[in-house]
Amino acid sequence: MWFSIGKDGPQGGILTPTVFITYHADMPDFLSWCSSHFFADDLTAILAGQIGVKYTQQCLDLEKKLKLFFDQLEYYSRLTVQPINYSKTEGIWSARAIGSAPFEIESGENKINWIKEFKYLGYWISSKLRWGNMIKKSMLKIRQRLAMIN
């Protein structure tokens, strides 16, 4: 007997994230050449360039890896009937060299935006992996809450 199951689960509960993580437990094996991390229904992937080669060669290598990553992620999403939410898909470029990523990322028809910082699990991650912005935002929160008390 077959029955219809809606696409969404209850928000705020433990069931939906648990089912998502269990359903996608094979994704780290599928994308074994990069570091992927799940939290609830979010995926974060970390790709690294080659060490010991010129910066331009590192960029070319990383561009190829990102293309392969998005091709395989798109293939995986089609196999599992779990579409990628491209409106929430972003990339952050972290390098000692000054400047942003020297190339654009696309997945199919979707352009992936480069950002300078993002909030993940309560932490602000910047492209230079510095704590300054995190501390500044935490201090602002503390001041705002203290002002509410007074």
Residue 122 and residue 136 share a domain: yes
Range of the domain at 148: 117-150
Is 124 in the same domain as 136? yes
20 and 63 both lie in a single domain? yes
Measured from the Cβ of residue 94, the count of other Cβ atoms closer than 10 Å reads 12
* pLDDT tens digit at each of 150 positions of the chain: 565 656 666 777 788 778 877 877 888 888 888 888 877 778 888 888 888 888 888 888 989 999 999 999 999 888 888 888 898 899 888 877 767 777 888 888 899 998 888 888 888 888 888 888 889 989 999 999 999 987
The pTM is what? 0.75
Domain shared by 84 and 12, yes or no: yes
How many domains in the chain? 2
Q: Of 140, 87, 94, 139, nearest to 116 (Cα)?
A: 94
1 and 40 part of one domain:
yes
Nearest residue to 114 (alpha-carbon basis) of 63, 78, 53: 63
